[in-house]
Structure 1
Amino acid sequence: MKGNFEALIESDKPVIVDFFAEWCSPCKMQAPILKELAAALGESVRILKVDVDKNPQVASRYQVRSVPTMMIFQRGQIRWRQTGLQPKHTILDALKQLQ
């Protein structure tokens, strides 16, 4: 996934990346929030989910030490990063800061 991931985060539009694990309860709680965001924001953002157990090299490169960790990339750069369950309004506020 590494090469593909790098290409995906190079986008001009914001890319929300959810680093998660299948065994993580807060990660499971984050999923419906991301679905709401996807429905509300449509094509203005891209949302990617990265399973840290299946993609340890990507998680390591971005120093993901706990899950869930959310990042917003734009043009390949990390523009926002938070660890733990994130409410919808927090992610929306972070996206507004990019405009």
Structure 2
Amino acid sequence: MSKFGDLINLDVPVLLDFYTDWDESSTVMSPILKDVAAAIGDKGKVIKIDVDKNVMLANALRVKSLPTLILYKNGEMVWRKSGEEDANTLINLIQQHLQEEI
């Protein structure tokens, strides 16, 4: 779990995508998240977490449906949603959390 703590304790927004390769909605989100990552560059991070390989973490965060998107800033969960989301919404969300540090 310390690796997870290091991952979310960054001073930039960190968007976690809990997914599986066999889930259709997770597959739909993959190119969207690539677009988000490209748009935010080094001002944030987008990290995919395969729930089949990270069962304990998914259970600890109560991930019940896929995909589940969670945004962290400075180690705190600031937003969470289960299901698909569009790139513009995610980019705007990350930008809002960038503005808070100014």
TM class by shorter chain equals over 0.9
2:43 is matched with 44
* Partner SS, residue 91 of structure 1: helix
Q: Amino acid of the residue matched to residue 80 of structure 2?
A: R
* Partner SS, residue 12 of structure 1: coil
* Partner SS, residue 36 of structure 1: helix
Question: Matches of 1:88 and 1:71 in 2, distance apart?
Answer: 14
Q: Equivalent pairs: percent with the same residue? A: 36
Q: Amino acid of the residue matched to residue 35 of structure 2?
A: E
Q: Amino acid of the residue matched to residue 87 of structure 2?
A: K
1:17 is matched with 16
Question: Matches of 1:82 and 1:93 in 2, distance apart?
Answer: 15
C-alpha deviation, 1:3, in angstroms: 2.2
* Partner SS, residue 41 of structure 2: helix
Question: Matches of 1:95 and 1:48 in 2, distance apart?
Answer: 13
List alignment gaps of at least 5 residues for structure 1. none
Query: 5 Å matches for 1:43-62?
Result: 43-62=42-61
Aligned structure 1 segments of 4 or more residues deviating by more than 4 angstroms: none
TM-score (norm 1): 0.93
Q: Amino acid of the residue matched to residue 6 of structure 1?
A: G
Number of aligned positions between the proteins: 98
Residue 89 (structure 1) aligned with residue 84 (structure 2): no
C-alpha deviation, 1:29, in angstroms: 0.8
2:62 is matched with 63
Aligned CA-pair RMSD: 1.0
Q: Amino acid of the residue matched to residue 5 of structure 1?
A: F
List alignment gaps of at least 5 residues for structure 2. none
C-alpha deviation, 1:66, in angstroms: 0.5
* Partner SS, residue 47 of structure 1: strand
2:72 is matched with 73
